[in-house]
Amino acid sequence: MSIKIDRTFVDKDGTRWIIDYKTSQHEGTVIESFLDLQQERYRDQLVKYGALMKLYGDEPMKLGLNFPLLQGW
């Protein structure tokens, strides 16, 4: 099994961020509903990324999806 984390960093407050970029297109629904559905869809994947990164440090962690084409989180 291979895992590719798109972006991870520790911010100035010591919080580890794990960001997964998505290029999904929004069509026909309210943007907030679309983003909520995407969050649910990828939740398990982000949790796996978080568990993996916990092996490297125990800092507080935030997980997020970023949709650069939609300008949304």
pLDDT tens digits, 20-47: 999 988 888 788 889 999 999 999 999 9
Q: Is the pLDDT of residue 73 over 90?
A: no
* Element at 21 (helix H, strand E): strand 16-21
Dump the DSSP string for 24-69: PPP-SS-HHHHHHHHHHHHHHHHHHHHHHHHTT----EEEEEEBTT
* Residue 27 confidence (pLDDT): 81
